[in-house]
Amino acid sequence: MTIETVIFDCDGTLVDSETLTNEVLVGLAREHGVELSLAEALTEFAGGKMADVVAALEGRRGAPLPDAFVPNFRERMTAAFRERLRPIDGATELLEALRLPCSVASSGPREKIELSLSLTGLRRFFDDRIFSAYEVGSWKPEPGLFLHAAKAQGVPPPCCAVVEDSLPGVHAGVAAGMQVFAFVPEGPHGMSRAELPPEVVPVAHLSELVPLFAG
């Protein structure tokens, strides 16, 4: 099926934010008596919904977290982003080579997506084609966010390519009936190739997508 548009996830796919985000989460969780490693956080929470992250931490804690936990987390995460956030290796080059329309569909709130793309110099590639699960009301692994992005761009789901680095995102793309490419780089990561559905195409570096999307 011909690819007419490319829908990118943001965190861990275009911007190198997953490790930063989960480092902040691990540190703040520890302050509230919840011990978990960075590897555990990446495996359990990458691509997930914030409400589910909080519920999982409260389950480990055996008590509710304070109301200030999420605002404090977002404040610290923003500070870490401003200091250390970088684009994923190859992201800028891929977007510069792209000859197809593209968009971002992320489980994060719009302000986080906008900040991440702006800090890394990638915002210029997307115009108004940014879609947040918080605005759509559908979170990965549900297909609703991707289906909304496809409809907004006037492209049938089978003609959409999805680039994702998390298992919830991969499953959302498959459920939406789209062509899914799983970004699985070397090193600590929240997803392994062994977990991927058979129809999903794994890539170790974003440069592998240039010949597919730059034609």
Q: Which of 9, 11, 16, 165 is catalytic?
A: 9
Asked if 52 is an active-site residue, the reply is: no
Cβ(17)–Cβ(113) below 8 Å:
no
Could you give the maximum distance between any two Cα atoms of the chain, in Å?
A: 53
b (16+ CB within 10 A) / e for 9-44 = bbbbbbbbbbbbbbbbbbebbeeeebebeeeebbbe
Cβ(123)–Cβ(86) below 8 Å:
no
Cβ(42)–Cβ(20) below 8 Å:
no
Q: Which of 39, 7, 26, 54 is nearest to 170 (CA)?
A: 7
Q: What is the dihedral of CA 161, 163, 95, 2, to 10 degrees?
A: -10
Q: Which of 129, 128, 117 is nearest to 92 (CA)?
A: 117
Cβ(184)–Cβ(37) below 8 Å:
no
Calculate Rg over the CA atoms of the chain: 17
The set of catalytic residues is 9
